[in-house]
Chain A
């Protein structure tokens, strides 16, 4: 007892110091956990925004290459254009213009500058197409040169848009990585707190011959509950976001890539027919269609959307017939198939089906990505309150023992 008294002189001080340290760590647990949850939520929201921007930029690119394909198609028709096609060309170009402005307002400065450059090029592009059209209607072959220049510009714009997409994909992934790391905060401080509570409880129990200090034990339970619930909710949000990224968003991305590459190939088909008989060099078309096929193969494995590949295969077969006719000298048959025959019909079928699929996948991706962070706002508040409650229980629990020294 003499030893106990001798040491008892320092016990209240040590208990008080331990109580304060534990309470501070508990408050830190609440603040840092809430901050970690907040960071995960904001990173997931940023990933969601980047994914929506990606889908929007892809839509701009698809519409641009679609417009370019129509411009070439109408040129190939000669002076007598298809009115409906021309209206579609105009509406697609207007949508590209609006889309560029809309997306430029929400992306980072570097991407915004690139999109602004594309907007400038778009004006020049439409001017070149109009000059090609005007010359074509007068029978002036310089129209073909204007169309070639317009297509070169369209290709450059598509490359710029692709560079923005590369950046946006990286932003999606970077934000997911940040969200991933932010989730560790809960555990980094939570488990040391548990150890402090257990160690403190054990020390007090041994010192004061009490089996259990109820408030401290409750503090431990609340901490564990927070770790389990918080960890589960956070992991669920992360899992949802990653699942949406690798699932719906990836599928929407691939569908857009397939459509963009297919329209590029379609424009190249018209281009080789405009440069009548020189389609022997079909490598540009083959490269584009190969890109589309790769995208559709992956779409099939990612989302089970395998029908589009069959539609594209039908067009590919029809295109082979177009080239075969042209290479054999029957340009008229090739032109007929490309404009109004088998090639035109099979491509229209692919366009229609892929348009519907891409729209559906885009909507699903937007919903899935935006809902991933649901629940984290509540968790953030709970984490902060839990820290305060744990600190209060620690103060109450250890104060009971301190009173025994008075």
Chain B
């Protein structure tokens, strides 16, 4: 048993090495010095308090989205619509904040209401994907993708239309909120303990749900074989729907965090791609919740580390995405190779 575990570990290391080799080749093709590029990514993520705090504030929403899709993956659902769920969460939060910012309600309560609104927005959008799947026969992948586009269009409409900045209508975003509506951060940095606390809380919650509850077990039964689960008496579609809702709540929470602690306004790219990135993290960790936190932290560091590449090396910052994608791809491929080599005999 122990030997097999070491062997698996060896395969995973192999996947990482292959991914690094491939990325190095990509860098060479682009005519860039690979070692320097990697060094700058590490520097960009870790070299200063500001950078580290940026990594931590990227970690929070990524933890939430990863946790969310771990639930839908457990139920065998591909919640590609998570990007739209973040977006609608952000829209609802912005709406609540705008509505209340000039009211006598204290700013703490406004933030709480904003977060609740964000959760409701994300859940609403996830419920739509779930309803389309359950009652409309639309595969959640395609329904979700369509809803992502609709959410973005809706945000653009609000930003240029009803919520436009006084005088100018620009797609860059709405008017910034006064700093009393910012999630409290540590002094001098853009990092909120509240946001990260929420993220970690949710990851732990998901771990417990999937690991130790009746609900989690039934969810996984649906994911493995929904027909068998139905015959065993699990109310399948209700459970799937609930998985969607839960994921939507977490996605909406991520949207609320993006509005209140990162951008302080609504922008068309408010999700920062954390929804899709959460799907990638979940795939990379083979849907094991226990690894969600460290791998999400690593991905957040890559994202932040890549930001400076255009300035220091004249490279596109999408290098981080390339590295993440190649890593997940090779882990999937190497896992397939391992199964082929050792299970078929």
A and B interact: no
